[in-house]
Structure 1
Amino acid sequence: MSQVYSKSPKDCASKESFINTDNFKYKKLFCVFSTFFTSLISFILLIWLILHPSKPQFSLKEADIYLLNLSNSHLLNSSIQLTLFSKNPNQKVGIYYDQIQAYAAYKGQQITVDTSIPPFYQGHQESNLLTASLVGTGLPVAPSFAYEVGRDQTAGKLVLNVKVNGKLRWKVGAWVSGRYRFNVNCVAVMAFGPNIPPPLSARQGTLCSTSL
Structure 2
Amino acid sequence: MADRVHPIPTHTDTTPVTVSGDMSELPKQPSQPITEKPVISPGTYVIQIPKDQIYKYPPPENAHRQRLYARKGISRRRTCRRCLCYTFGILALLVFLLGITAGILYLVFKPESPKYSIETVAIRGFNLTSSSSISPEFDVTVRAENPNNKIRIYYQKGSAVTAYYSNVELANGVLPAFHQGSNNLTIFQTTLKGSGILLTGAMNSEITAGAKEGKVLMKVNIRAPVKVKIGAVKTWKITVKVNCDVTVDSLTAAAKIVSRDCKYKVRLW
Query: TM-score, normalized by length of structure 2?
Result: 0.55
The answer for the alignment partner of 2:127 in structure 1 is 69
Deviations 1:44-73 (A, max 9, x none): 421454356333212322211122125855
The alpha-carbon deviation at position 164 of structure 1 amounts to: 2.9
Question: Distance between the aligned counterparts of 1:208 and 1:58, measured in 2?
Answer: 10
Post-superposition Cα deviations, 1:175-198, rounded to whole Å, max 9, x if no partner, equal 415524422304142257xxxxx4
Tell me the equivalent position of 1:104: 163
User: Structure 1: which 5+ residue stretches go unaligned?
Assistant: 5-18, 193-197
Q: Who is 2:193 aligned against?
A: 135
1:6-155 map, 5 Å: 37-38=94-95, 40-47=97-104, 49-50=106-107, 51=109, 53-70=111-128, 75-98=133-156, 99-106=158-165, 108-155=166-213
Whether the 8 Å contact between 1:64 and 1:80 is mirrored in structure 2 is: yes
Moved more, 177-186 or 117-126: 177-186
Residue 97 of structure 1, CA deviation = 2.8
Q: How far off its partner does 1:87 sit?
A: 0.6
SS at match of 1:201: coil
Identity of aligned residues (%): 18
C-alpha distance 168-125 of structure 1, shift in aligned 2 (>3 A): farther
Question: Which deviates more, 36-45 or 59-68?
Answer: 36-45
Counting only pairs closer than 5 Å after superposition, residues 138-177 of structure 1 correspond to structure 2 as 138-155=196-213, 157-169=214-226, 170-173=228-231, 174-176=233-235
Indicate which of 255, 266, 269 corresponds to 1:201.
255
Tell me if structure 1 keeps the 8 A contact 2:159–2:174: yes
Give CA-to-partner distance per residue, 1:143-194, whole Å, 9 cap, x none: 3122112212332x142434132244433111415524422304142257xx
Deviations 1:113-153 (A, max 9, x none): 32111233322121111211112111132331221122123
CA distance in structure 1 between the aligned counterparts of 2:254 and 2:225, rounded to whole angstroms: 32
Q: Tell me the equivalent position of 2:66.
A: none
CA distance in 1, matches of 2:196, 2:147: 40
CA distance in 2, matches of 1:55, 1:184: 15
Quote the offset at 1:96 in angstroms.
Answer: 3.0
For residue 75 of structure 1, give the secondary structure of its aligned residue in structure 2: coil
Q: Does 1:184 align with 2:243?
A: yes
For the pair shown, which has the larger CA radius of gyration, 1 or 2? Answer: 2
Whole-angstrom distance in 2 between the partners of 1:111 and 1:68: 14
- Alignment correspondent of 2:264: 211
Which is bigger in relative contact order (C-alpha 8 A, separation at least 6)?
Answer: 1
User: Helix, strand or coil: the match of 1:137?
Assistant: coil
1:123 and 1:42 map into 2 onto residues whose CA distance is: 27
Secondary structure at the residue paired with 1:199?
coil
Alpha-carbon distance in 1 for matches of 2:221, 2:111: 20
* Counterpart residue type for residue 176 of structure 2: P
- Paired letter, 1:123: G
> For residues 122 and 64 of structure 1, what CA distance do their matches in structure 2 show?
25
Greater fraction of residues in strand: 1
CA distance in 2, matches of 1:97, 1:200: 30
CA drift at 1:105: 2.4
